């Protein structure tokens, strides 16, 4: 029994053990516990803003975007709806995957103060869309975002802006173009109605004379839906509208109509083009143009969505105030012009030409004009304005 009893350690040995404990053995355990607790705190706090360990401040920026809208149901994201894919679905995914926004910002875009200049409609493309948002300014940010985007969606530029910048509210004007085959202007009684048609200088002059009538402020309630003739928001200001010289692509002649306005309502541009085409072809009298701005209901034909492209957005007032303040750059994108032009040549123009050749959307729409009733007004009385109307979100949604 006595042999099994452990002898007490010498006094010197016990003192040495106490010194070791005091100098780190027990302290090491405490340090480890404290470190683990700190790590848990960092992890829990990091869940709120995503990868907080970056220690990068979020900055308000704008991105210059170009995209081909074919196959997409417009620009604006429909959160919770995966049935209809939009441009913003792909953009937000790329922003998250590149690491410049946390994942929860992708789920709730308000957290990154996201705003678009124009809410382009189904199938509509853009060469100069601008969106504003807050991001982490990571290294090689454009390259990383683009690496997670399909080739028909590109981020071509980035600029820092003021903290309160909103791309929709700060936008003074938008410029769209509408690319169409020139046989759309072939007179129904005098000209061939196929792709062998070539636009004459005389017809181009007539087209531009009619397009110029849109300049100024007019009541465009007949050029959209759900808008009464007495609603103030039906009044829209057009700065310019004209048709450029024609050009040939793959044996078919095309022309580009450009229009610059403060803002546009849903389908407004397509109806503006559609009415001019109907007049030039001889299906409608010129008088219907002025009548369409009156209070009476006029059934204005809507040209196909194919061919409509958001070309650029304008920030004149912002540039005057902040563009030369020494802190911010003017939003003019002059240095990106070559890339914008290259994207149009590579993705936008070929998509329009190819789709028109295979789907013949313009030819099919033109076949409806002979039966279109431009004089009918009795079947649709003027609409009583509603206090719920006039709030079309981005306003610019053709």
CA 32 to chain centre: 51
Q: How many CB atoms lie within 10 A of CB 69?
A: 26
In this predicted structure, what is the pLDDT of residue 81?
Answer: 66
Q: How many CB atoms lie within 10 A of CB 37?
A: 10
Picking from 238, 116, 253, the residue whose alpha carbon sits closest to that of residue 181 is 253
Picking from 169, 224, 374, the residue whose alpha carbon sits closest to that of residue 287 is 374
pLDDT digits (tens, 9 = 90+) for 67-112: 999 989 999 987 766 678 999 999 999 999 999 999 888 788 888 9
Q: What is the DSSP letter of 54?
A: G
In this predicted structure, what is the pLDDT of residue 290?
Answer: 93
Picking from 153, 108, 114, 158, the residue whose alpha carbon sits closest to that of residue 133 is 114
Paired strand residues for 62: 132, 159
Picking from 392, 61, 86, 345, the residue whose alpha carbon sits closest to that of residue 221 is 392
H helix intervals, the chain: 11-20, 26-49, 87-98, 103-107, 141-147, 201-212, 268-281, 287-291, 316-322, 337-343, 349-359, 361-366
Catalytic residue set: 121
CB 119 within 8 A of CB 173: no
Place of tokens 């040495």: 16
pTM over cut 0.75? yes
In this predicted structure, what is the pLDDT of residue 377?
Answer: 60
Per-residue pLDDT of the chain (398 residues; tens, 9 = 90+): 444 444 555 545 554 555 544 444 454 444 445 544 554 444 444 454 444 445 678 899 999 999 999 989 999 987 766 678 999 999 999 999 999 999 888 788 888 999 999 988 888 999 999 999 999 999 999 999 999 999 999 999 999 999 899 999 999 999 999 999 999 999 999 999 999 999 999 999 999 999 999 999 999 999 998 899 999 999 999 999 999 999 999 999 999 999 999 999 999 999 999 999 999 999 999 999 999 999 999 999 999 999 999 999 999 999 999 988 888 889 999 999 999 999 999 999 999 999 999 999 999 999 999 999 988 663 443 343 333 333 333 344 55
In this predicted structure, what is the pLDDT of residue 32?
Answer: 42
């Amino acid at each position: 029994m006595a042999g099994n009893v452990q002898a007490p350690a010498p006094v010197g040995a016990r003192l040495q053990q106490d010194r070791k404990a005091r100098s780190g053995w027990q302290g090491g355990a405490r340090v480890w516990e404290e470190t683990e607790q700190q790590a848990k705190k960092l992890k829990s706090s990091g869940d709120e803003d995503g990868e907080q360990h970056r220690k990068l401040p979020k900055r308000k920026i704008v991105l210059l975007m170009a995209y081909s809208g074919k196959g997409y149901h417009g620009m604006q994201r429909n959160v919770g709806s995966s049935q209809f894919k939009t441009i913003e679905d792909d953009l937000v995914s790329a922003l998250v995957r590149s690491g410049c926004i946390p994942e929860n910002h992708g789920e709730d875009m308000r957290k990154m103060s996201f705003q678009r200049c124009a809410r382009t409609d189904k199938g509509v493309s853009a060469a100069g869309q601008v969106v504003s948002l807050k991001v982490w300014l990571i290294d090689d940010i454009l390259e990383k975002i683009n690496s997670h985007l399909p080739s028909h969606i590109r981020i071509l530029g980035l600029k820092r802006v003021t903290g309160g910048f909103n791309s929709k509210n700060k936008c003074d004007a938008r410029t769209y173009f509408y690319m169409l085959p020139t046989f759309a202007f072939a007179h129904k009684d005098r000209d061939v109605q196929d792709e062998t048609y070539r636009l004459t200088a005389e017809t181009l002059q007539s087209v531009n004379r009619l397009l110029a009538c849109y300049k100024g402020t007019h009541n465009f309630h007949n050029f959209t839906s759900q808008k009464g003739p007495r609603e103030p928001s039906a009044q829209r200001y057009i700065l310019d509208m004209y048709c450029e010289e024609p050009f040939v692509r793959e044996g078919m002649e095309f022309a580009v109509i450009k229009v610059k306005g403060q803002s546009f309502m849903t389908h407004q541009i397509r109806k503006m083009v559609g009415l001019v085409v109907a007049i030039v072809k001889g299906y409608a009298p010129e008088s219907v143009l002025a009548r369409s701005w009156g209070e009476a209901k006029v059934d204005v034909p809507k040209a196909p969505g194919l061919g409509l492209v958001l070309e650029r957005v304008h920030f004149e007032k912002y540039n005057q105030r902040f563009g030369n303040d020494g802190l911010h750059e003017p939003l003019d994108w002059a240095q990106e012009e070559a890339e914008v032009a290259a994207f149009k040549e590579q993705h936008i123009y070929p998509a329009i030409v190819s789709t028109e050749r295979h789907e013949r959307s313009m030819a099919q729409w033109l076949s409806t004009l002979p039966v279109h009733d431009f004089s009918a007004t009795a079947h649709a009385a003027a609409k009583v304005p509603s206090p719920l109307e006039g709030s079309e979100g981005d306003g610019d949604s053709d």
